[in-house]
Every structure is written in C-alpha cells, then in structure tokens.
Structure 1
Amino acid sequence: MQPQLRRTKIIATLGPATDAPGALKRLLAEGVNVVRLNLSHGTPDDHRARAAAVRAAAAELGNEVAILADLQGPKIRVERFANGPIELQAEQVFTLDCRPDAPAGDATRVGVSYHDLWRDVKPGDILLLDDGLIALEVLEVGKQTVRCSVLIGGRLSDRKGINRQGGGLTVAALSDKDRNDIKLAAELEADFLAVSFVKTADDIHTARRLLHEAGGTAALVAKIERAEAIVNLSEIVIASDAVMVARGDLGVEIGDAELPGLQKKIIREALLQSRVVITATQMMQSMVESPIPTRAEVLDVANAVIDGTDAVMLSQETAAGKHPDKAVAAMRRVCLGAERQFEPTEDLSVGAHRLDRTDQAIALAAMFLAGQIGVRAIVALTESGGTAQWLSRYRSIVPIYALSRNAAARRRMLLYRDVNPIDFDAQGVGPTQAARDAIRHLFTLGHLSVDDRVILTTGDHTGQLGGTNTLKLLKVGQGGVAEGLGEL
C-alpha cells in the first residue's frame, strides 16, 4: 500500500536556529515545502546567505523548495529606552513622543516610529503595545505628542509594536525599507512575496508593479492583519495570488474573540476566489521551548487543515526555537492526521461554479469524474501550473500530480494544497505520446501501480501556456503502459 501523501503544505521561517550546521537539511528532510525569509530581521547579506543555503540543501536532498520573502511593512513601534526596559503601572500617565528627534525613552515617555500617530488618534482610543500585553488609553493629543493613561501595565522594552484597537491608522502599507526589500526579493528570485499590513487592493497593485520593475516574478501574498483589510477582504483577495491569515496583529486589532470566526471567513473567501490561503502565527508556539506541542496547538492546526487552508506556517518555532526540526515533524503529523478525517463536501455541479476559462472547466470536470468513478490520481500536464491551481481549488480526496518542465512553476505549485509537482518535459512530442510518457514516469517513480485508473488533463499543444483543453481516462498497464479508457 502506498504511503499517505500529505496534502497541506508547510512553511518554515528561517533564522538563527536554522543557521546551525545541519539544521537546514534536517528541516527540509522533515517535509518543509516553502521557507520564509523574514525581512523584518537580519541584513540583506543574511538573507542572501540563507537563500543560497536553502537551494544547496534542497539540491543535495533532491527536493524542490520554494522561497517566500516576507516584507516588514510599516509596523508601528516604540523607539529605544535610554536605560533598558521599563515597568508601566496601571493608571500611570505615559506619553508617546511623535517627534523625529525624540530623545531615548524613560519611565514617563518614549518616541515612536510613526511620526503622524498624533494625527490618527483621539481621546478615548485604546492603544495596544507588545501584541496587546500592554494597553494605554489616550487622554490628550498635543502637537506631536499623545498623552496616555496605562490601563494594563507590564514590562516594555525597545521596538515593541503599537496597534490601535479597531484599526484605523493611516500609515502606508509599503515603507522605504519595503521598497528596497522588494528589489532584494527580485534579486534572490523569490517565488513568493508577502506584503504586510495590507489595507486595500491598491497596496497589492503597487507592490506588484515595484516587483516587476525590479525584474521579479514572485507571486504576491497579501497578509491580512489589519482591521481595514477585513472590510476590503474580497478586493484584496482578488488582487492577490495568495492570502495569509496573519493572526498576531490581526488578533490585537480586532480582539481575540473575533479571530476564530474571521480566520474561517478569510479561508472561505480565498477558496471562493480560487486563491491560495496560508494560516500563520503561533500555531505551535510552545515548541519554541518544548519538544512537543500542546493539545490546543494540535487542534488549532488540525482545524485550519479541515477548514481547507493550503498551508500552515511556523514562525518563531523554527526561526529561533530549540527544536525546529521537531516542530516541522509535529506539524506534518498533525496535518496527516487531520487529512485522514477530511471528507469533501463541495458541490461539483457546473451550476455551483462560475467557469470563465477552458482549463477551469476541465479541472471541474476532472474532479467531478474522480468523485463518480474512483481513480488513483489526477495527472496534469501543465506549463505554468494554472491547471494544477484550478484542480487544487476543488477539494477532493484524490492526489494531484502536476508535471511541468518549468522549475519556477513547480516551486509555485509547492504551495497548492493536494498538488505534488514533478519535473517532466513533454516538449517536442504530441499530446498522446506525452500522456504515455507521463504515466510511465509516475509508474517508475512509484506513484502509480498496475491497474490504477488515472484522469489526465492536457492540451493539444504540449508546453503551451493556458492550453489545457482535454481530459483523458487512462489505466496503468504492465510496465507502466497507459491504456486508454476514454477521452472528453
């Protein structure tokens, strides 16, 4: 019996913990599909070195691994303190200094990175610091100062984040640093570019334009972490190639109680718009220290998988944790366990879906047929990965093998749920011979066995972008020979 294929993809963040000798190879061997370069930390040379190390380790293991470059975004932070961290007490008055030349902070005041903060707030607003661990109520707004009363005190150290409860800060989505980091992502040939603190579709359009001007071809990931993004969710999803449920800042802005329902809403919207969706932040946070996850973390990951997320992401767990490879292994086990309970309930009738493209119609027909007659796999001969993406949007228990000669397309497909990209070159042969060669190739790799029935999608002209227009039902004969059962 062939082993269960994992359908949900795993993203792991690189950092000091993965720089140790052998750590990166162990991480990839445990099943990481995409690595994340967090451009909020480290220097450009750090990221160049990590990207090179990823590609070397992947080549050594014979794996393909995609790279996601994650922009810092205009995260609003307190500046530095003159004598180290301070302790804020409830009902204490504390001032946020918005001047560009604000002195180093003390127990009564501190500078902020967003110098227009005083223009965006009013008395009665609640400001949340350090992911909501500290809460301030705005008492008075002066010219370049925000005088506050401490509602929830605690230890406050350098560069901790600031959010306004309910959102509404007008800071732009792309900072000067982000614009330089977009050029870095293009230089590194990143496969995905994540845009932080997106508020509208225009933020994604601007990032895409800057990326193309820099020569980059990465897919754009919109990080949903602002209250305003929820209001504009549909237009943001449509403008993006993928979305990320970034639960850290989103939970701070909208409140923890609203977060579970919004996570499900974002996943549903992404699937409705045929976009990839990633669930992220503190999924296995206890494994920064512990070698095993908590039961609550297991249920959190499993619920995201059952809801239909394409990928789950590890952040601090792998970047700075004590057990990065164990965190990936735990994530893999939980995904596989949740997938064994998965029962597709999607309505695959034509009337339930808007079909604008031929390859989309072929994908829907393939999934409908797979559910009616029972097949071992769906095989997509694809140049750009477009057909594989459509196939992955229609949830099924049947694995999808996407065969492409295009390495960049294969790496992008590493983020598609259910899709297993495989290097295969059908250039120069007709569609019938390409289908035979594809089945034999999968048989040789051990993915197919004699008597398996397979649905294959292809086009009249192999290697042509957007050319999928044919569906074949095939049976695997002796030696991997494809036997035709029918064609649509």
Structure 2
Amino acid sequence: MMSPTEGPRTASLIASAGPSIFSPENFRKAIAAGASAIRVSASKYPLDVLAQKADAVVAAAKELERPVDLLLDLPGSKSRFTNDDFFSLAGVERVRIWYQPVPARRDIAVPEIGLTGDDLGAIIEPGDVLIAGDGEDALRVESVADDHCMAQPLTFGNLGRRKGATVAGKRQSYVSLTESDLEALATIGDTPYSAVVVSFVEDAKTIEMVRAAMAAGTPTDRQPAVIAKVETRAGVAATRDIAGASDAVLLGRGDLLMDCGELDFYDLGKEVLKTCSKAGVPVIVGTQLMPSMSVGWLPNRSELAYLSHLIEKNVDGLMLAFETTVGKQPIRTIALVAELIERYGGGPTRPMFPLRYEM
C-alpha cells in the first residue's frame, strides 16, 4: 500500500475534468483556485486523450508551482443510456427504450434511446421507475416487450451523455474491472497519474486484481495508489476489508443512493466514514457536493452546511463532479470549497499521494 503524503491533515479538493474545465487554460484556473487533484474518467475519453490531459495538468501545476494529484477513474460497467448528445425530455409524452443499440432511425413520432447491458432489461416491469444519472431525471415504465419498454417521463430535463440507468428499488449487477480498465492499468506506469479510482468495489479481491494488473507493467514501488469506490450496499458491508486492501476509499454517494434508496442512504454513508476512520484509511466524499452553484449565484444552504460539516469531521478528500464537468461556475465553486477547507479544515487544500512527476 502507498502512504498518503505527510503534512497537516487538511482535505484534498478533487475537481473532475469535463467540458467546463477541459482545456489547459481552465486546468490552470482550477488549480490556481484551489484544486489539489484533477480526476479524469476513463469512461469518457480514449487512452491517448487521457495522456494528453495528464500532460496539460502537469504543465499547469509546474507553472503555478502547486503540486496536484492526477486521478484516473476506471468506470467499471453498469447499464447506461446510449445517447452521445443531450436527450431532451421536454414536451415528451413517451419514450421507447431499447435494450440494445437503437435500430436505424425511422420516421416515427416516439423518441427512442438505447440502454447498454443485458441485465437491466431482464428486470424491468410495468410500473418500475427508471432513474437516470444520480437521480436528475426519471421515467415510469408503462409496458415492456422482449427488446424494449415504453416509458413516460416524470421529469423534463436533458439526459446528459451516456448517463447511468437504474431501476428504483431493484438490485442490479455491476462490473468493477472491464477489459478496457485492465488495459489502462497495464499502461499506467508510463503516465503521471498518482492514483487510480476503481468503481463498484464490493470485496478486497478486486483491489488485489488491480495491483496485479498494474504489476504487469509497473514496478511495485512505482505503482499509483489505489482508491476503492464504495457505492453499493454490498460494498458498504465489506468496507473494513476493502479499506484494509486500499490506499483510500471514495464514498460514491451518487450510485449509493441509486442502489440503496433514500431512507438508508445517510446511515450507509455514515457507516463508510466511521469504518474508514477506525481503520485509519483516508476517505474521500464524492459527487453533488455543491451543484446548486450551477443554477444560482449562492450555494444551497443545506449543501453549504453539510459540506462544512464534512470538513470539520476531517474527511481527507472532497470530490466535485457535476460542478466542474458541466457546471456553469466551476472556478467559483472550486474557490469557495477551497476557502471552506481552509476555514474549517485548518489549512489549504493538499494532494493526498506522492506525485509521479517532478515539480
């Protein structure tokens, strides 16, 4: 296991890379505003683009003389909508959802979208609520066929690119490591990424597989840290073992809410934080920490209060996602969270792991 960097125990501020900050100039602005880590998702971009963005982050960190972690998020596999562009639900009465790629476009009145993965279609029944992303939108299933279902939108937003899909109240299967994830792990030794984030971890064996995959191309003393994302009931139940095998744990609140439902969400999240604290393993809290700043000038009061509470509780990292991927005020949001960390956490933001590039 890799030890976190020495120094005052203040939180790392992780900014997820997306269109809102996905340029060398915006990386520089994000780091200057207080981001101490940049997270890049391997689900969105090919390996050559990931390498280019890593180089851009390193260049910005050196220019500003501010050390910055680089986190490569391995997405695993879950059911997702197949749209490559925004899919608007505004004014839509019905949607046909295919359990496979959408057939060749026909002149029909009902909008169509596809779902990846075979498992979700097998459990969908009339009356089910199909949730998109982290709960931003939802559709109620009206009828089902062998290869598709018909659903009525319950919300009328824009489905973002390839958002995850979940059936409310039903357990579905996840894959922690896909072939593309393993390919990325085998080549990560030649990159400046200081840590890999592994999705849907539900046992310590998954972390062992990650380390073995990295060992094929990277000496043990040069391997990036491994961050286990706990985001299902099964993962929460195994947190102690997972924490013992990992360099850090990321509480993935978005998928945890989808998996466990509203009433158990708080208790399960609290259990992860307590277990990691007792084990002495760094813990990161992620997603939707302050999304309200994308629709208003000031943050939502409950977001502001809970985020400050997390910082006072000495969490080791806070991860912004929507706020910096497609949010409308990414730099202002980063700057505010960084100021909160300094006020309630006792010091400025900091990287969590030894850097894999020279400053």
User: In which range does the TM-score fall when normalised by the shorter chain?
Assistant: 0.7 to 0.9
Of 202, 215, 228 in structure 2, the residue corresponding to residue 222 of structure 1 is: 228
> Which residue in 1 is equivalent to 2:65?
62
> Which residue in 2 is equivalent to 1:319?
325
Residues 275-324 of structure 1 show CA distances to partners (whole Å, capped at 9, x for unaligned) of 11001111121233555433322212112123331111122323344433
Report how far residue 327 of structure 1 moved.
1.8
1:52 aligns with 2:76: no
> Which residue in 2 is equivalent to 1:274?
280
What are the within-5 Å matches in structure 2 for residues 62-461 of structure 1?
62-80=65-83, 85-86=88-89, 96-99=97-100, 102-103=103-104, 107=110, 110-120=113-123, 126-132=129-135, 133-137=137-141, 143=146, 145=147, 147=149, 150=152, 152-155=154-157, 157=159, 159-166=162-169, 168-215=171-218, 217-288=223-294, 290=296, 292-339=298-345, 412=353
Contact residue 96 and residue 111 of structure 2 kept, 8 A: yes
Question: Closer, same or farther in 2 for the Cα pair 1:96/1:199, shift >3 Å?
Answer: farther
3-state DSSP of counterpart to 2:140: strand
Backbone CA RMSD of aligned residues: 3.4
1:303 counterpart letter in structure 2:
H
Report how far residue 272 of structure 1 moved.
1.6
Cα separation, 2, equivalents of 1:84 and 1:319:
18
TM-score (ref. length: structure 1): 0.60
> Which residue in 2 is equivalent to 1:453?
none
Cα separation, 2, equivalents of 1:261 and 1:299:
18
Report how far residue 70 of structure 1 moved.
0.7
Cα separation, 2, equivalents of 1:318 and 1:117:
30
1:136 counterpart letter in structure 2:
R
Cα separation, 2, equivalents of 1:275 and 1:186:
24
Report how far residue 200 of structure 1 moved.
2.9
Contact residue 120 and residue 168 of structure 1 kept, 8 A: no
Report how far residue 82 of structure 1 moved.
11
Contact residue 237 and residue 273 of structure 1 kept, 8 A: yes
> Which residue in 1 is equivalent to 2:45?
42
Cα separation, 1, equivalents of 2:58 and 2:250:
24
1:245 counterpart letter in structure 2:
L
Question: Closer, same or farther in 2 for the Cα pair 1:124/1:314, shift >3 Å?
Answer: same
Report how far residue 95 of structure 1 moved.
5.3
Of 20, 28, 33 in structure 1, the residue corresponding to residue 31 of structure 2 is: 28
Q: Which runs of 5+ in 1 are unaligned?
A: 341-398, 400-409, 415-422, 424-488
3-state DSSP of counterpart to 1:18: coil
Cα separation, 2, equivalents of 1:139 and 1:66:
47
Cα separation, 1, equivalents of 2:298 and 2:152:
37
Cα separation, 1, equivalents of 2:170 and 2:278:
26
TM-score (ref. length: structure 2): 0.80
Cα separation, 1, equivalents of 2:238 and 2:86:
42
Contact residue 250 and residue 285 of structure 2 kept, 8 A: yes
Cα separation, 1, equivalents of 2:333 and 2:46:
26
Cα separation, 2, equivalents of 1:167 and 1:308:
34
Contact residue 88 and residue 154 of structure 1 kept, 8 A: yes
3-state DSSP of counterpart to 2:292: helix
Contact residue 191 and residue 411 of structure 1 kept, 8 A: no
Report how far residue 36 of structure 1 moved.
1.1
2:294 counterpart letter in structure 1:
V
Question: Closer, same or farther in 2 for the Cα pair 1:300/1:130, shift >3 Å?
Answer: same
Cα separation, 2, equivalents of 1:83 and 1:338:
38
3-state DSSP of counterpart to 1:134: strand
Cα separation, 2, equivalents of 1:21 and 1:303:
33
Question: Closer, same or farther in 2 for the Cα pair 1:138/1:270, shift >3 Å?
Answer: farther
Question: Closer, same or farther in 2 for the Cα pair 1:236/1:121, shift >3 Å?
Answer: farther
Cα separation, 2, equivalents of 1:68 and 1:193:
6
Cα separation, 2, equivalents of 1:317 and 1:80:
21
3-state DSSP of counterpart to 2:48: helix
3-state DSSP of counterpart to 2:171: coil
Q: Which runs of 5+ in 2 are unaligned?
A: 1-7
Report how far residue 254 of structure 1 moved.
1.9
How many residues matched? 339
Contact residue 253 and residue 286 of structure 2 kept, 8 A: yes
Residues 186-211 of structure 1 show CA distances to partners (whole Å, capped at 9, x for unaligned) of 33231110012223333322222222
Cα separation, 1, equivalents of 2:127 and 2:287:
29
Contact residue 99 and residue 111 of structure 1 kept, 8 A: yes
Cα separation, 1, equivalents of 2:202 and 2:91:
31
2:236 counterpart letter in structure 1:
I
Cα separation, 2, equivalents of 1:312 and 1:83:
27
Of 2, 7, 13 in structure 1, the residue corresponding to residue 10 of structure 2 is: 7
Percent identity between matched residues is 25
The answer to which of 273-282 and 49-58 deviates more is 49-58
Cα separation, 1, equivalents of 2:174 and 2:324:
30
Cα separation, 2, equivalents of 1:83 and 1:278:
30
Question: Closer, same or farther in 2 for the Cα pair 1:171/1:319, shift >3 Å?
Answer: closer
Contact residue 292 and residue 330 of structure 1 kept, 8 A: no
2:179 counterpart letter in structure 1:
D
